[in-house]
Amino acid sequence: MSEAKHRAEADALVQEVLKRGTNTARRSLCVSAAAFGAAAALPLAGATPAQAQARRAILKDDSRVLNIGATVRSGKYWNFTTFLTPVEEFYVRNHYPTPIPEQRPVLNPANWRLRIHGESVERPLELTYEQLLALPSRTIIATMECHGNGRTLFWEQDGLTGEQVSGGNWILGAVGQAEWQYVPMSEIFARVGVKPDARTVLFWSGVDGNDMGRPMPYADVVSLQHDMGICYAMNGNPLPPDHGAPVRVVVPGWGGTASIKWLTEIRVTNKRVWCRLNTRGEVFIGPAYPRPEFSPDDEFIGVTPEDIRGPMVTWMPPKSLITVPLVLERSPSVPPNYPLQRGQWPRLSAGRQVLRGYAWAPQHGVREVHVRVDGGPWQPAQIRPPNLGKYTWVRFEFPWEATPGRHVIETRTTDTTGYMQPETVPMNILGMAHGGIPKFRIEVV
């Protein structure tokens, strides 16, 4: 496809978000997917960056998202229709309350600083918000998904209890897709110079809590250096507080934890680094997952070697869903504003229906989606363009002649390497990254 066509497509997507009135931008946006490499305009016309940021210092309207806990809000995925998820409907996952500039002045763009330093950095750098925005940027359309999204499937489908697998009941709504504007890590590395001994890049906030840091192997950051970076705009507007204002990391395709919000520091070091998130916070703990090795020279921040429980989630697995709320029977909790009571089935009228859904395979991209009704043959679903490949989801449709009675609909993504979503996945006690085939139960009346 030509670049012009790609651009037209990307513009149409943004128009779709604007039309729904859920995005407050009132100017024309220039977007591009990183896949075709064009630079994008700054989303800040008519205001200084600090003014534009200050205007958005409001927290998300809770009625738009499903309240799972104090600072944990799921997207209502059964209402999703758009290719880009409007910011107001985008899930929020914080380990602490959303910090706002009124309480944490370091988050005021006029005060905000990013320090890039460490043993393996040649020329340490400190950037202001305005300096960051002046650096070359790119935009990428990518899903963001919490490691724990789909934890519900361990309870509802795999028969595990809340003692065996614990964590928030996200159902399938801790995922969204946005257009992120960021300064690529390649630009940062080019400015600071990285020594050959670099092993770890530690992305650190320190604003919302004192343990919110994510160490990434330097080699992984280098392999993603054009596609990941320091992000300041989401769907064409400055980041809102709930999503990390003024600046966060975005690592497309990796579990959301890698995308540290309220970023203040990047440290490049020649050591391996362990902290809460990569020891016991957001890791696979279970018989199928050996504990990673450590060495006494590693750096431990607020944790000890005994805290190392299992490997960290990196890429999120291929997944799919139809926009129907899952029946909750065995889940330890039902979120208070979930549309179904415990044990209640969603209803659909008999006749010709079109099931709509989303499929994503962030590491390699979606090749095909299949749907199965009542354990019958797998049938291809129709993928609705665009399919931008790696990092992005696709929407799909499946026409269905719905007959009265109770039915089970399953969905399965195949990625471009031929990998298909499996029936089940090995258990892990934090319920991370359930990529198994979901079963949607529907009562047709």
Ligand X SMILES: Nc1nc2c(c(=O)[nH]1)N[C@H]1C(S)=C(S)[C@@H](COP(=O)(O)O)O[C@H]1N2
Other Cβ atoms closer than 10 A to 341: 8
Q: How far is the CB of 435 from Mo ion (least distance, A)?
A: 15
> Residue 60 or residue 138: which is nearer to ligand X going by CB?
60
> Residue 120 or residue 259: which is nearer to Mo ion going by CB?
259
Q: How far is the CB of 148 from Mo ion (least distance, A)?
A: 6
Question: How many residues interact with Mo ion (rule CB under 5 A)?
Answer: 5
> Residue 175 or residue 369: which is nearer to ligand X going by CB?
175
Smallest CA-to-CA distance from 437 within 344, 380, 370 is with: 370
> Residue 259 or residue 278: which is nearer to ligand X going by CB?
259
Q: How far is the CB of 71 from Mo ion (least distance, A)?
A: 12
Residues 72-101 that bind Mo ion (CB under 5 A): 93
Residues 196-235 that bind Mo ion (CB under 5 A): none
Q: How far is the CB of 371 from ligand X (least distance, A)?
A: 28
**What string marks each residue from 117 to 156 as x (binds Mo ion by CB under 5 A) or -?**
-----------------------------xx---------
- Cα separation, 96 vs 103, in Å, equals 14
> Residue 14 or residue 72: which is nearer to ligand X going by CB?
72
> Which of the listed partners (Mo ion, ligand X, none) does 243 bind, with a CB threshold of 5 to 8 Å by partner kind?
ligand X
Q: How far is the CB of 282 from Mo ion (least distance, A)?
A: 6
The DSSP-derived string for 254-283 is: B-GGGS-SS--EEEEESS-EE-HIIIIISB
> Residue 212 or residue 321: which is nearer to ligand X going by CB?
212
Residues 6+ apart with CB under 8 A from 103: none
Helix (H, G, I), strand (E, B) or coil at 216: strand
- Cα separation, 308 vs 182, in Å, equals 32
Smallest CA-to-CA distance from 181 within 13, 377, 297, 40 is with: 40
| The token pair that represents 20 in the structure block | 């729904």
Residues 6+ apart with CB under 8 A from 4: none
- Asked, as a colleague might, if the bond just before 240 is cis with ω within 30 of 0, I would say no
Binding site for ligand X (CB under 6 A): 90-95, 144, 146, 205, 208, 212, 243, 256-257, 259-262
For position 256 contacting Mo ion by CB under 5 A, the verdict is yes
- Cα separation, 223 vs 80, in Å, equals 32
> Which of the listed partners (Mo ion, ligand X, none) does 91 bind, with a CB threshold of 5 to 8 Å by partner kind?
ligand X
Q: How far is the CB of 168 from ligand X (least distance, A)?
A: 10
